[in-house]
Structure 1
């Protein structure tokens, strides 16, 4: 029968060659340069290809590596991952220790698989304060640390907590090999974050050495050096910079500790890395995998064998792209970031609360953050596949390219005298600032879209209030960073501040759209103008289209606004602009569009401002706000 015939799809639909595919693409570009249009340059200095093919995998050295084998690109322990998955390690910072313990116990019943304590620090006094063994007992009461590993990122002021943990574990009579404790310090990232340290470097090294001794002799499951890359990401660093700085930091610690007489076999299990997970989905997947590849190469260079080349990676969703306005969108941002971390293969994961910029911890936001991970595990079953990105032409190549770029950056830092010198002399600040400025420019020109902020803003939203982080007013500063603390930035701060100024102003910030012609003539630019102005908090009045200039001018004068935006086609502007400018000679007139050959003549007619694709939305709207008198309302 006809339906019983064997399908021969490759004969009926032969796969096209790359040359055939490229020709088909070039035909659609209508003369535009293929390389300019189809290649994408990232903040990491990587040029993304429009298509990746099997041939692109031929030169990847790790391609044949298996899960659980060096260089561990495909994960440290595939059997454990398939049986337990990653650790769900949401942070806790409740200051009342009894309430904190109750909160942790409850959330362990609701899906948490780790205990992640956020400690109180000089630059954020909202965390948990641990001063004695009784405090630690209160926090960990009824919690089995063999089933729920304990995490804490220590500042050097918190060093003594390691001693308390050692005492507590002895009291509980845990077997050391049963524990996986991520309780570590990273004085270099602390130095970068705060701009100072409370101890001299000699004192700090004394504490590091003592901590290493405790871990090697007494607590075999303790990772006491926790390199925090999120500090650099929060300042705007690229993935290349974050990875390169982590590597250079690890080299600094390893070189000094090896000089103390320990071996790489003893030291390598003491490290863990904290990575920030940002919005570039595939880049973040590649970043986690590249971190393992880089770490393996570094340990190998120190003489470490295969089993020493593993690294524990703790992922945390980013803060640089979080917003105050429309903060429920942060849920979606966190979801994609957590998704990429899991696909990349993090060992433990922390998802930020969607409203952490505007309020203290609450049950609702903690629950949503926790459940984002649980959905990925229990409903999406991402714990059932080891290295799901493996074999992807794009991600495998991106992993290698990112590793190459990060290795080069690490070498650059080493050539500058190492991580500490590069930090002290401001090289890291300067390098990160360049990327942060590029991110800001892309936001301002809306090349990078932040939903609800620079595009699709909610015109009815009231200005939110950002929570003020309490800080130590007079901290001890034994070591001071000459370049100062790295800034903790958010890319949308400028436009959010502008929007708040405009909304709170008592000036007339209404914009009247002079929609000219049929709906087909003005609709696209009227929609564009509406979104453009609303991003800055301006109220837009957008009537039906006007057929005559007289009707448009009459309605504009009756609108009780101080600024008017003309919306139509470039062709109609040739007649409309001179006529409208003549009828409204003293008004602030804006044109939606940028007809290059007519810009100067339109300016002479009386057009004061142009809004268009690629315009700097912050600079343009800030200028508009000043023209309307808003600058006095800041």
Structure 2
């Protein structure tokens, strides 16, 4: 048996040595060409070493109080919209028997009868939470009274009230801020008897779902949090009572590692705020409720949303969330089916019971890459937060339109990147399911100062809606179809063919046929006999007879790839060239118009 110890006997490598090896492989190409920037302006390096790593400051919460639970514990939440107490109670009991650890009752109508709503539910053994878009502080007081009346052990009560006064205002709900602050302060005072129930909530999901990048999401959340702290301390609440009653909710999106780093960076910043308010606390006291993103979902090929839910849930768990709600993957289509609610509940269960993510507290600890982006995110978010504080209070910035303006800019940048295929969305801008039936649900960012969730694929959905409405009016034969012609089996031609499928698919254009020609001489005959609306010609080397071949073609002819003399080719009958630098939305909108689609 070898006695080599790989951790001792190998020479330690330095970053400079790795860089030198990479530069040799680049053969004169600039090393900086390998560095990419994120929407937050964070450079992603081609490799990371311990030299970029700092001491680990944030680790995931460790569950040690209950020996029957795993060391990495999170609450698997199930949400119920309450319209009838008995029906909601029945649904909650069923969910608890099928893997839920907690129930979130969404209540925006009348205050429910808690005796009916919570019949046969044991609050000491599951987390009971409430959610509303309008203030329902009396409901939380009633819940505390209910718990006392039923003689439940206050130390065993877990849950939260997911209502954010300022977030409610930010979405356009008429809110009496000063009155709500006083009601919140009253509830926080009662909250001391139930130390594990969190009655004060900060909602960061709205920023993410409205399109903010991660740095903006963190800085606005910190700004809003400090405004709350100032208002509540002015109402004579002590800072410890406020922190002990606080929970935060974050939406988790597509950028897996950055979403993990986001929460750890946020906790670092909150610890700074705790210190500024002379409160001694730890990262484990910062309670994070996670939910899957609305922004990352699409109505196009909606089953792909299930896969997105899985990776988003995993990043939330690895980030150290305390509870997790997975929204059913068909939510973007409207009301969710019961089967899909069940699937959503099982996402968290599978990650716990089959992927064993509850067995290791923090598998991300010591990751050079994550530690680097964590620290960079925290620094950028903290700097931006201080800039916001210098500009004024969060509410003042919101009222003057600054918050909406900045988030809109982030949203537009990402939505256009998606439309231009710089950010890939399976089913929307690549590998589309042409011919699927779905409800046309167009979204646009509102012109007013209020925030609203908006899908990153909304530009593509709007474009596809033109085609789908046309097909609905004309029938299946009304769908524009294309023929793809490859000159030889060259890999370049095949790559251009693959690109053409996805490019045209953005507009809902189907592919009627894909033909491979062994000789350029066959091109003219194939073009003249083509029965589709469009023809896309893919090649490595441009055929000499291209202009002659398209002379009598009734279809619109596209060339896959850039041609320096595109204008001259258009004069000879080519409709245009499609490639990665094409203005996708502009080109496809005009193409649909020229095909007679309104």
- The equivalent position to 1:578 in structure 2, one of 542, 547, 563, is 547
The CA distance in 2 between the partners of 1:157 and 1:253, in whole Å, is: 16
Q: Structure 1: which 5+ residue stretches go unaligned?
A: 66-72, 121-128, 469-480
User: Structure 1, residues 397-455: CA drift from partner, whole Å, max 9, x if none?
Assistant: 22111111111222122122111011111111111111111211221121211111100
Give the match for residue 177 of structure 2: 201
Change (3 A) 1:78 1:564: same
Shift of 1:16: 4.4
Give the match for residue 540 of structure 1: 511
- The equivalent position to 2:396 in structure 1, one of 409, 421, 437, is 421
1:192 aligns with 2:170: yes
Shift of 1:579: 2.0
1:98 aligns with 2:86: yes
The CA distance in 1 between the partners of 2:532 and 2:516, in whole Å, is: 18
Give the match for residue 64 of structure 2: 79
User: Structure 1, residues 497-539: CA drift from partner, whole Å, max 9, x if none?
Assistant: 3223213423561223343345557333222212221232112
Give the match for residue 292 of structure 1: 267
The 5 A counterparts of 1:295-306 are 295-306=270-281
1:348 aligns with 2:323: yes
Give the match for residue 233 of structure 1: 208
Q: Aligned with 1:85: secondary structure?
A: coil
With a CA cutoff of 8 Å and minimum separation of 6, indicate the structure with the bigger relative contact order: 1
Q: Aligned with 2:466: secondary structure?
A: helix
- The equivalent position to 2:77 in structure 1, one of 89, 99, 113, is 89
- TM (normalized to structure 1)? 0.86
User: Structure 1, residues 305-328: CA drift from partner, whole Å, max 9, x if none?
Assistant: 135982110000101010112111
Shift of 1:184: 4.3
Give the match for residue 622 of structure 1: 589
- Count of residues in correspondence between the two structures: 587
Give the match for residue 254 of structure 1: 229
Change (3 A) 1:371 1:17: same
- The equivalent position to 1:411 in structure 2, one of 386, 399, 403, is 386
Change (3 A) 1:359 1:311: same
Give the match for residue 168 of structure 1: 146
The CA distance in 2 between the partners of 1:465 and 1:441, in whole Å, is: 20
The CA distance in 1 between the partners of 2:365 and 2:517, in whole Å, is: 58
Q: Aligned with 2:210: secondary structure?
A: coil
Contact 1:463 1:503 in 2 (8 A): no
The 5 A counterparts of 1:308-323 are 310-323=285-298
The CA distance in 1 between the partners of 2:501 and 2:439, in whole Å, is: 22
Give the match for residue 68 of structure 1: none
Which stretch shows the higher mean deviation, 365-374 or 539-548? 539-548
Which stretch shows the higher mean deviation, 172-181 or 430-439? 172-181
Contact 2:156 2:196 in 1 (8 A): yes
Change (3 A) 1:91 1:609: same
User: Structure 1, residues 3-35: CA drift from partner, whole Å, max 9, x if none?
Assistant: x45235579864544333223322333433221
Which stretch shows the higher mean deviation, 24-33 or 8-17? 8-17
Give the match for residue 471 of structure 1: none
Give the match for residue 388 of structure 1: 363
Q: Aligned with 1:50: secondary structure?
A: coil
The CA distance in 1 between the partners of 2:151 and 2:490, in whole Å, is: 77
- The equivalent position to 1:213 in structure 2, one of 176, 182, 189, is 189
Q: Aligned with 1:89: secondary structure?
A: strand
The CA distance in 2 between the partners of 1:77 and 1:510, in whole Å, is: 57
The 5 A counterparts of 1:511-526 are 511-518=482-489, 522-526=493-497
Give the match for residue 450 of structure 2: 485
Q: Aligned with 1:630: secondary structure?
A: coil
The CA distance in 1 between the partners of 2:573 and 2:311, in whole Å, is: 46
Shift of 1:147: 1.2
Change (3 A) 1:21 1:494: same
